Amino acid sequence: MGDWEKAQEFINKDSDALTDKINSSGSTALHVAIGNPQNNFILEKLLLQINPELLPTLVNNRKQNPLHYAAILGNTIAAEKLVEKNPQLLFIVDYENDLPIERAIYGSHKTTFLYLLQACKQHIGLSQIDGYHNPFEGEHGVQLLSSSIAVGFLDIAYDILKEYPVLARTHVTNVRPALHSIAKLRDAYPSAKRYNFYQKFVYSHVPAENQSLDDIYDIENQKSYKAKLVTKSCIYRGL
């Protein structure tokens, strides 16, 4: 409480402090509050004083809005508060063309990812706004499915593929398709059956001429993993 009283006193003297960048990373007060889950109380207080329409403009030097930052850190409570204030944050990309939901899965933050997944479905109409992006279509959709498989969230990937089967047939340059992510898991467990339940399900949605696994992308060369916060060893331990 004392920390907030000091912050409020400072804000009262300079209202721009609510939205100004306050460190060398270009973080705003919201980014800083999100960075420590113990500051969620302060985050809530800040949000009461900031116009929700300004939230998409509050980005750090990496063009990450507060929801990106909550997703990167796996701060689900902060993500919920931000989406409640302005769900448009869900469909805005950062400097690497990543949506908040993609940032959550790169860090294997399953609880945050699941929340953002449901929030995106609930507010999907907003993705049609000019300049915003649908996480279930094209590059972002393929990224979502492939990354879900790569980090071991096979149950979630299964549900995504059931709802959006076209993603298994969509080819996007520099984004590893679902078949290759499945193949990587097979290579990690050579003793496992080649065609398990999830493999069969993915294969059933891909035309036969596209089912070759001869040219498997290397995970370190993928755009989708250049900013990932976990290593392959961490990924496989979590399966």
Q: For residue 89, what pLDDT band results from cuts at 50, 70 and 90?
A: very high
Listed residue (101, 122, 99) closest to 112, CA to CA: 101
Claim to verify: residue 186 and residue 87 sit in the same structural domain: no
- For residue 133, being part of any structural domain is answered with no
Claim to verify: residue 64 and residue 120 sit in the same structural domain: yes
- For residue 121, being part of any structural domain is answered with yes
Claim to verify: residue 146 and residue 216 sit in the same structural domain: yes
**pTM check: above 0.85:** no
- For residue 223, being part of any structural domain is answered with yes
* pLDDT above 90 coverage of the chain, percent: 52
- For residue 187, being part of any structural domain is answered with yes
Angle between helix 76-85 and helix 40-49 axes, rounded to 10 deg: 10
- For residue 217, being part of any structural domain is answered with yes
Name the most confidently modeled range: 1-5, 42-46, 97-101, 159-163.
97-101
Q: Please, what is the average pLDDT of the chain?
A: 80
In the numeric block, the tokens 């290759």 are attached to 180
Claim to verify: residue 146 and residue 45 sit in the same structural domain: no
Claim to verify: residue 153 and residue 111 sit in the same structural domain: no
Of 128, 161, 178, which residue is a domain's last?
A: 128
Claim to verify: residue 118 and residue 29 sit in the same structural domain: yes
Give yes or no for a contact between 172 and 139, defined as CB atoms under 8 angstroms apart: yes
* pLDDT above 70 coverage of the chain, percent: 69
What is the C-alpha separation between 20 and 28, in angstroms, rounded?
6
- For residue 56, being part of any structural domain is answered with yes
Q: For residue 128, what pLDDT band results from cuts at 50, 70 and 90?
A: very high
Of 128, 154, 188, which residue is a domain's last?
A: 128
Claim to verify: residue 143 and residue 123 sit in the same structural domain: no
* Domain CATH code at residue 113: 1.25.40.20
Q: For residue 229, what pLDDT band results from cuts at 50, 70 and 90?
A: very low
Claim to verify: residue 100 and residue 158 sit in the same structural domain: no
- Residue 223: pLDDT above 90? no
Residue pLDDT, tens place only, 13-60 = 666 778 889 899 999 999 999 998 887 888 999 999 999 999 999 999
- For residue 58, being part of any structural domain is answered with yes
Of 128, 162, 189, which residue is a domain's last?
A: 128
Contacts with 91 (C-beta within 8 Å, 6 or more apart), sequence order: 99, 120, 123, 126, 127, 129, 132, 133, 134, 135
Claim to verify: residue 144 and residue 214 sit in the same structural domain: yes
**SS3 label, residue 107:** coil
Q: Which domain holds residue 160?
A: 138-237
Claim to verify: residue 113 and residue 45 sit in the same structural domain: yes
Domain count, the chain: 2
Q: Which two tokens stand for residue 32?
A: 């800083």
CA dihedral defined by 15, 49, 19, 81, rounded to 10 degrees?
160
Claim to verify: residue 12 and residue 51 sit in the same structural domain: yes
Claim to verify: residue 158 and residue 120 sit in the same structural domain: no
Give yes or no for a contact between 8 and 44, defined as CB atoms under 8 angstroms apart: no
- For residue 119, being part of any structural domain is answered with yes
Residue pLDDT, tens place only, 139-189 = 999 999 999 988 989 889 989 989 999 998 888 877 777 667 776 666 555
Backbone angles phi, psi at 22, to 5 degrees: -120, 0
